[in-house]
Each structure stands twice: as C-alpha cells, then as structure tokens.
C-alpha cells in the first residue's frame, strides 16, 4: 500500500489522464435514466390503452350502424309510417296528429330491439340489455363456462331532426338522423362518443 502522501502525489499525477465517472455521477445518471425509463413505461401503457380504445370504438360503430339499419328497415317495411320516424314528442308531423314519433330521446341503455325489432323504441326495455357472448376461460363458444357480458359501458342516443333547404323551407320527405354512442374507456375512464350522421327519406 502506498503512503497517503505518495498516493496524493500520484493522484495529482494521474489527474490529467483520469477519464472515468465518479460514483456520484453514475448514481445521478442512473437516477435520471430510471426516471426516463419509467416515463417510457407510461407510454407503453398509453399505447395499450389506445389499442383497447380503438376496439371499443369499433364496437360503438357496430352499435350505431345497428340502430340506423333498424330505422331503415322500419321505413322499408312501412312498419312505421313517416310521422312515426321521429323522436317522441316531435311536432314535425306531416299528416297525423302532433306530437308524433316513437324513438326515445336522450341516452338510452343498450337494450335489445323488443317485439317490434326496432332499436330505440319504448318496447325495448322489456327485452333486456344487449349482451356479448364471451366464450369464458376455455376460449370455446357454447360451453358451460360461457359468460354473457352486458354492454353497460355503452349508451345510445338517436336524434331525428327536420331538414331545411337553402331558403329555409322544410323538406317534408327527408330528415336527418344522428346516432350517438357514448362509451367509457376501460383504462382511462373517460367518456368517448361515436357519431353517425345520416339521412332518412320517406321514399324507398
């Protein structure tokens, strides 16, 4: 072992070529790196969450289309007359008594279509909520462990409004249909909406 004096001299002598980091520097840099890495982990989580969200968004799209298609179906079969293709309480009734319309206003739970086969009407609640069949832990459908997941996370709103031409005159044979699906993302617990805007004509 060198004596302290010699060592200190050596240290001074080595100073010019000493290139490494001190322990303190290493510890600090590691701490900085860790903070960086941890924030990167957050990005991972965000990426996973948005993949999940896009899946929910697709489901919302299916649910919105389902609603619109059932309005078109009802129009095509003339199961409903033109006055009935309105929100409940609507005063835009072309022939019958006012108010007309059978589509419930506001956000409604994801009920089944009910006895009339049309989503968004008053008889839906009696038929219960729509469910997705989950194959359960074995991953195989129609086995004893299947579960049925209600779509409690989603809500649906249908708004039917009159349409006016450029001069402000009511177009009697055409209405706009706006279907909004509102859902809560599973990870971030934020409310998202998926909106379908379309038209419905009196004529097929």
Partner 1 sequence: MRDRLAERESGFSLLEMTVSLALGGVVLAGAVQMYVQGVQATWITTQRAELQQDFRAASNIITKDLGLAGAGLGNGAAIALPSNVTPVYGCSGTGGSQTTATCYIISTANPTGAVAYPTQAGAAYVYGLLPGYNDGPTLTGSSGPTDAITTVYTDSNFYLDCYTAEMTSTTTVTFTLPGATSANCTAPGGNAGAQAVGNSANGLTPGDLVLFTFGLNNVVGEVTTAPTGTGLTSFVANDVLKMNQGAAVANSLASMYVAPSNSVTGYATRLFVITYYIDNSTSTPRLMQQVDGHTPVPVAENVVYMKFTYDLFNDATNLPAVGCTNPGAASDGCSGASAGLLPNQITKINIQNMAMNSTLLGSQFGQGNGYQRMDLQTAVCARNLTYVNNYPN
List the one residue from 5, 16, 41, 97 that touches partner 1 (CB under 8 A).
41
How far apart CA 7 and CA 55 sit, in angstroms, is 67
List the one residue from 8, 62, 186, 197 that touches partner 1 (CB under 8 A).
62
Q: Compare residues 78 and 167 and give the one whose CB is closer to partner 1.
A: 78
Residue 180 CB, shortest distance to partner 1, in Å, is 16
Contacts to partner 1 from residues 89-118, by CB under 8 A: 113, 115-117
By the rule CB under 8 A, 30 interacts with partner 1: yes
State which H helix or E strand residue 138 sits in.
none
Site size toward partner 1, by CB under 8 A:
55
Q: Compare residues 89 and 140 and give the one whose CB is closer to partner 1.
A: 140
Contacts to partner 1 from residues 142-161, by CB under 8 A: 142-143
- Give me the long-range contacts of 170-177 (CB less than 8 A, separation at least 24): 170/92, 172/94, 172/202, 173/82, 173/201, 173/202, 173/203, 174/199, 174/200, 174/201, 174/202, 175/85, 175/86, 175/92, 175/199, 175/200, 176/200, 177/68, 177/71
> Among 65, 105, 99, which residue's Cα sits nearest to residue 84?
99
Do the Cβ atoms of 172 and 202 come closer than 8 Å?
yes
- Interface residues with partner 1 (CB under 8 A) are 2, 6-7, 10, 14, 23, 26-27, 30, 33-34, 37, 41, 44, 47-48, 51-52, 54-55, 58-59, 62-63, 65-66, 69-70, 72-73, 76-79, 82, 113, 115-117, 119, 130, 132-135, 137-143, 202-204
């Amino acid at each position: 072992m060198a004596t302290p004096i010699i060592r200190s001299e050596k240290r001074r002598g080595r100073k010019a070529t000493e290139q490494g980091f001190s322990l303190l520097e290493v510890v600090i840099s590691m701490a900085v790196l860790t903070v960086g890495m941890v924030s990167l982990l957050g990005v991972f989580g965000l990426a996973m969450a948005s993949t999940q969200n896009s899946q929910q968004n697709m489901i919302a799209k299916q649910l919105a289309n389902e609603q619109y298609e059932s309005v078109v179906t009802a129009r095509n079969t003339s199961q409903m007359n033109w006055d009935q293709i309105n929100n409940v309480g609507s005063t835009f009734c072309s022939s019958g008594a006012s108010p007309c319309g059978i589509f419930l206003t506001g956000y409604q739970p994801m009920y089944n279509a009910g006895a009339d086969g049309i989503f968004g009407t008053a008889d839906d609640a009696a038929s219960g909520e729509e469910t997705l069949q989950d194959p359960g832990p074995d991953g195989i459908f129609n086995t004893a462990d299947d579960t049925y997941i209600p779509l409690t996370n989603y809500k649906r709103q249908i708004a039917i409004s009159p349409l006016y031409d450029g001069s402000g005159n009511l177009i009697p044979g055409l209405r706009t249909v706006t279907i909004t699906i509102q859902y809560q993302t599973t990870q971030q617990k934020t409310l998202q909406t998926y909106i379908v805007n379309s038209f419905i004509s009196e004529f097929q």
